[in-house]
Amino acid sequence: MMRRLLLPFLVLLAVLAPAAAQIDHAPKVVARLIADRLAVAPGGKLTVALEEDIRPGWHTYWSNPGDAGAPTEIKWTLPPGWKAGAIEWPYPQRDPVGPLMDYGYEGKPWLLVELQAPVDAKPGEAAQLSAIVQWLVCREVCIPEDAALSFTLYVEANATPPDPISAGQFAAARAKIPAVSPWPMRYALDGDLLLYVRAPALAGAAKPMDAQFFPARPGLVKDTEPQTLGVADDGVVLRMVPGSKLGKTLDGVLVLTSADKSVQALQVKAEQGVVPSARFEEDATITLALALLSALIGGLILNVMPCVLPVLAMKTLALAGHAGADRRHARLESFSYCAGAVLSFVAFGLLLVVLRAGGAAIG
């Protein structure tokens, strides 16, 4: 009996295992550097965007990657006197992967960097700006990738400003960079971690529909736990589960989403202090007793449906047929049925392990 059950799964395993070895080696991210202008004056500044064109279903990482991962790195090779600033990160999104929570990007994010020409740059000369970019791109599996990128920039005494199309693209990218908060913030620990934004406008008609906090460093909050938005008399309060490395200052990014789906990302540098009481809209919860009662009612409804009544009669006849059966035979049939069900799932588990070991992105 067990051999008959296991044989089909072993055949399936033998057929699919070679296919798992055919790993897709094509790049998951296509990167390029885009400058907001083609010429710069001596001592002038310009903004360069690193565009990551990410394959659907995959994601790269924010400056704090979350529970796992690594942020994108840019290593510049610049002519003498040129300077490059740090990456200006757009606000990320939450990407749950199994039991982990990643902070990263999907689609086509732009990471901005400010470059400055030396004051003694000579008009008319061309500057070759190069960078080695490294990133980690993940789905169920993670793949490190890199690219060598470069572009040429010209020095002009009276450099023209960016064209309207380029200016619009960079303005849209800069709108996703978290801004300095116009409202004071503070946090408190009361079992939960409470982040308070003192903003009467947000407590009224402009109340956000959703709020997400992204910590600047790992360990400030428990990334996989839910975050609940509440309303105080003169602001909003975001309730979270604190992490093990929370210090005197809570740093990160707060992303507020309004009813019209517009997004406002704010830098958070909150000191510990008093947080007023707030009204939270709790998620609907269900107790164990209510869950069991619902399951019982659902089962009763299912079994009194007209289409099920003939099946009940067949079950009754089958049970009656075992009245005079040998107990040893009945036990053997029951054991065989259970063993077949367990072995089926064991075979599926082994198949999954083999496919993942072969590089297949499956979970």
pLDDT at res. 340 = 77
pLDDT at res. 17 = 45
Q: pLDDT tens digits, residue range 18-50?
A: 444 445 789 999 999 999 999 999 999 999 999
* Spatial distance between the Cα atoms of 250 and 301, rounded to a whole number of angstroms: 52
Tell me where in the chain the CATH 2.60.40.1250 domain(s) lie: 24-174
The CATH number corresponding to 24-174 among 3.40.250.10, 3.40.50.300, 3.90.1200.10, 2.60.40.1250 equals 2.60.40.1250
Looking at the domain that runs over 185-280, which CATH code has it been given?
2.60.40
pLDDT at res. 332 = 76
pLDDT at res. 320 = 60
H/E run at residue 18: helix 2-20
CA nearest to 281, candidates 183, 176, 208: 208
Residue pointed to by tokens 């975050």: 227
CA nearest to 93, candidates 273, 253, 229, 314: 253
| Cα angle: 92, vertex 161, 131; to 5 degrees | 50
Q: What is the DSSP track for 156-204?
A: -TTPPPPPHHHHHHHHHHHTTSPBPPSS-EEEEEESEEEEEEE-HHHHT
CA nearest to 251, candidates 220, 228, 275: 220
pLDDT at res. 331 = 74
* Spatial distance between the Cα atoms of 74 and 110, rounded to a whole number of angstroms: 13
pLDDT at res. 23 = 53
